Chain A
Amino acid sequence: MPSLTRRELIRVLGGAVVLAKLPACGGTAAGVFGEDDTAMLLGFADVVIPRDDQPGGAELGAIEYIARLVRAFDPPTPTPPVYAGGPYSGRQPFPDAAGQASTSFPANDFATFVELDRVSLAAWKQLLDPETGIEAQLRAGLASARAMTETPPHELSAADFQRLFDAQSDEFRALMIELVTEAAFAAPEYGGNPALAGWRMIHFEGDSLPLGYSQWNGTAHVERADAPLSTANPSDPEPMTKDLHDVLALVVAVLGGRVS
């Protein structure tokens, strides 16, 4: 996918002036944070998942995901964008008569969010409470980070963001890591993972229904050639590097395990 610079992303997604011109759309617009906080969030998103030959956290939809979540009840609705519907997303086809992918796709049930019951509503109202919930926790962490530097956020370097991120509380860093990874690797109906870029990056097929990984044809289960169930993959899209082997050896030693 084409890469945007951070400044371009800020221009598109952040800033009250720009956002005031965007249509309100139930929390999906990034009108939650001001320009500086947006720049800081984008910088931190790229700390969590840095850009390289593949997109980073900002490009993988961190801001859109966070905005959609923290404004799930703005405006109030019995079907906030908290639980995507089911069973199908429409991304995978129905099987054909031979058990392989057909050209027919189901509708996207994920796009219709599920109504909350009393208990879930209470839980999510608490999690998303503007004064104490996720948004407030983010704002506090961002304010703390901005207070640690006199440089405007959009002028900070990747190294600056890394230094500021590591200086924040464990709770804020854990929250950011959780939200950015959710943005990158959850279903795109939640606001992130644009064009499935997150799943493609990690070689994950995503939701698999209705095709699945095997189809009963009346006498046997037929498997997919591109993603087999009972046999080895046809190839490895990204084998483990020596650096990663070294890391795993260290981890296994800490756990008291064995290396062959």
Chain B
Amino acid sequence: MRKTVYGNASLAQFDACVIGSGAGGGPVAYVLAANGLKVLVLEAGPCHFDFLDDPAQPPVPRFSNDELKIERRNFIQVHEAIEPRTWRTSEADGERIDALTGNVQGLPKTVGGGGIHADLKMPRFEPTDFQLGSLLSIPNTSFADWPVQYAELEPFYAWGERLLGVQGLAGSNPFEGPRSSGYPIPPGPVMYGSTVVGRGLEQLGYTMFPYPTAVNSIPYGDRPACVNCGFCSGYPCPTNAKGSTAVTMLRQALVSGNCQLHAETRVVRLIPTSTGTAIDHVEAMGPDGSPLTFTADRYILAASPIEDVRLLFLSGGLGNSSGMVGRNLMFHYQTIALGIFDERVHGYRGRTVAHGFADLRGVPNDPTRPLGGITEISGGGFPLGEAAFYKRIIDQLRGGKWDGALFKSLMRQSPGRDRVMVLVIQAEDAPQVTNYVDLDPSVVDLDGLPVARCTYKNHPFEVDAGTFYEPKLLDILQAAGARYAAPAPRDAVPSSQHIMGTLRSGTSAATSVTDPNGRFWDLGNLYASDGSLFPTSSGYNPTMTIVALALRVAAAIVNPASPASVIT
């Protein structure tokens, strides 16, 4: 029988119950456990690390360089057939358009959460990203200032970078905010494809820099240096070189003696006290589907912005006196261009993304530089994804007739894997109260519980920025020597796995769901700690900010008067 309880199994009373074990939950567990609190972590997905809680030996992952297992067979991702999410653009579409919400389904449900699948690109946000409510006035948007500004969050950014082991080069991104310290480890080896694209960037006056990533360029902590196996973005790390919160902070919590983790244990309902001002206990389903009950002094939602909201609505709509629960759902708006080179640039080797540039992030209120986002210089994928890409090409070119000879030529000569480099802008997505998560009125999951429904439509703010910057991506690829440069179609269904908003933090109970420390205005012992807290999306990958905020949420629980004093 496989193990599903990790850490100190003898603990029976808990100061905190963390729901979700990813980039939002792991840091909370770490900080609370390190400060002597007894922590219970409930994770709906399975644990794929042997020895995760064993101080005598490093965790042994069941992960591997296996495209079929990870990309096709959902080893860590949600199975959309039995746990779907639905989507529509607005109420005018009826109950839903489609049974799926797109690639958002790809977020993992496993111990470690989204931090497992990501290649852990870890840039910080820029200081002005926290002030867009004051800086912008865009009709039909809900831009707001963050209740925590960059200066206050900076020490938590630095702490998180140390705990995870983030590689990077301070000062190399000319747009980054002030840093109190450099990156704890230096950049890793370059990928050839980045060098090739870098020629185009240099020619056009852009500044390429090593992408900050939580990947060990050298041995760090008790984890080895990355060997650049290639299976990085979308793939959980088989060697623990990736500094996910699972193998760093969560593991530290589990070996501390103050933490107990239940995998395959799905919280299905939060039960409030009789006064309705706090959570009394949670109801869950165990590994075999049997009902369980857990109790703690406080509860922290860290199951993702979509699943957090789903749980609140499954619990009767808790915490929603503002009417803002689920509102302001955001995804990064991705503008993507592919460059195909005559030579094989072998972008499938390495860390997927080793470099990027931020020149297309833009400046608030500058019409010549609309707010876009950091641009990732990414390698190609692997053969099964390549084959699916070619199928789409053949379908289009041959009108639905299969051309096996062409398919085989494409696979062997590999323009879509071995010769391609991809530029991806992770652009700011304007918050809108009309973009929200609620429960689908009739679609249920395998346990008969209503699934989350996303009502989401892009605003011209981000669409226009994408249209503005797309030709610049093609310019760069051509300057780099790409024979072919093409934009990828932009879909209405959000394709980014960066999910934000829905439990906005703020300074007013009337317009936000949680206070600046992530505590619900309506429920004194309920907190949120993941991307749901974000008032705006920024134009940088969200995970480092999720981690920094989570550390701060936990630090504020330990010492509300001075969260920064908790930093070690």
* Co-complex (A, B): yes
Chain B residues bordering chain A, tally (CB within 8 A): 95
Q: A120, B79: Cβ atoms under 8 Å?
A: yes
Partner pick for A248 among B219, B340, B344, B388, CB 8 A cutoff: B340
Which of B46, B66, B225, B340 has the largest count of A CB atoms less than 10 A from its CB? B66
- Say yes or no: B487 contacts A87, CB within 8 Å: no
* A86 and B264 contact, Cβ closer than 8 Å, known pairs A48-B404, A209-B238: no
Do A52 and B486 touch across chains, with their CB atoms under 8 A apart? no
Q: Bound state CA distance, A47 and B398, in angstroms?
A: 15
In the assembled complex, B184 has its CB within 8 A of some CB on chain A: no
Chain A 176-229 interface residues, beta-carbon cutoff 8 Å to B: 177-178, 181-182, 185-187, 190, 198-199, 201-204, 206-216, 221, 223, 227-229
Contact B343 A236 (CB under 8 A): yes
Interface positions of A from 141 to 162, Cβ below 8 Å from B: 162
Contact partner of A258 among B219, B400, B484, CB < 8 A? B484
- Contact indicator B413/A240 (Cβ below 8 Å): yes
Q: Answer whether residue B524 sits at the interface, using C-beta atoms and an 8 A cutoff.
A: no
B106 proximal to A (CB < 8 A): no
Contact flags A217-260 to B (C-beta < 8 A → 1, else 0): 00001010001111111001011110111011111101111111
B350's contact among A207, A213, A248, by CB below 8 Å, is which?
A213
Q: Which residue of A lies closest to B68 (CB)?
A: A186
The digit string for B335-355, where 1 denotes a CB below 8 A from any CB of A, is: 001101011101011100000
Q: Is the CB of B411 within 8 A of A202?
A: yes
Determine if B383 is an interface residue (Cβ-Cβ < 8 Å).
yes
A206 to B65, alpha carbons, bound, how many Å? 8
Interface string of A113-137 (1 = CB under 8 A from B): 0110111101100110000000000
Q: Residue B418 at the A interface, CB < 8 A? A: yes
Query: Closest CB of chain A to B393's CB: distance in Å?
Result: 5
A177 and B402 contact, Cβ closer than 8 Å, known pairs A186-B68, A214-B189, A252-B486:
yes
Name which residue of chain B comes closest to A47, CB basis. B404
For residue B564, give the distance in angstroms from its CB to the closest CB of chain A: 34
Whether the Cβ atoms of B402 and A47 lie closer than 8 Å is yes
Q: How far is the CB of A72 from chain B (nearest CB, A)?
A: 11
- Beta-carbon contact of A260 and B483 below 8 Å: yes
The reply to whether the CB of A173 lies closer than 8 angstroms to some CB of chain B is yes
> Which residues of A sit under 8 angstroms from B384, Cβ to Cβ?
181-182, 185-186
The residue on A at minimum CB distance from B484 is: A252
Is A9 located at the chain interface by the 8 A CB criterion? no
- Residue of B with least CB distance to A219: B218
Distance, CA A46 to CA B190, complexed state (A): 40
Cα of A198 to Cα of B387 in the assembled complex, Å? 12
Given contacts A118-B264, A170-B400, A229-B189, contact A248 B484 (CB under 8 A): yes
Q: Is the interface of B mostly helix, strand, loop or mixed?
A: loop
Contacts of B387 in A (CB 8 A): 177, 181, 185
Q: Does A84 contact B64, Cβ atoms closer than 8 Å?
A: yes
**Chain B residues near A187 (CB-CB < 8 A):** 66, 68-69
Let me know if A213 and B229 touch, CB within 8 A: yes
B340 to chain A, nearest CB (A): 6
Decide: A213 and B415 in contact? CB cutoff 8 A: no
A101 interface hit (Cβ, 8 Å)? no
Q: Which of B24-32, B55-63, B357-365, B546-554 contacts A (4 or more CB under 8 A)?
A: B55-63
On A, residues with C-beta under 8 Å from B are 46-50, 52, 54, 82-89, 95, 109-110, 114-115, 117-120, 122-123, 126-127, 162, 165-166, 170, 173-174, 177-178, 181-182, 185-187, 190, 198-199, 201-204, 206-216, 221, 223, 227-233, 236, 238-241, 243-245, 247-252, 254-260
24 A-B contacts (beta carbon < 8 Å): A50-B404, A52-B405, A86-B61, A87-B238, A88-B238, A89-B64, A123-B82, A186-B67, A198-B383, A207-B229, A207-B231, A210-B239, A213-B349, A216-B224, A227-B346, A229-B228, A232-B343, A239-B413, A255-B487, A256-B486, A257-B337, A257-B484, A258-B485, A260-B482
The 10 closest A-B pairs by CB, nearest first: A212-B227, A257-B486, A86-B64, A207-B65, A87-B238, A123-B79, A216-B225, A185-B383, A186-B68, A181-B387
> Which of B's residues lie within 8 Å of A, judged by CB?
2, 45-46, 48, 60-69, 72-75, 79, 81-83, 109, 188-192, 195, 217-219, 224-231, 238-239, 264, 287-289, 337-338, 340, 342-344, 346, 348-350, 382-384, 387-388, 391, 393, 396-397, 400-402, 404-415, 417-419, 446, 474, 478, 481-489
Contacts A114-B62, A202-B412, A208-B229 given; 12 further ones with Cβ under 8 A?
A46-B404, A86-B66, A87-B238, A182-B384, A198-B383, A202-B414, A204-B383, A212-B230, A221-B217, A230-B189, A236-B344, A251-B396
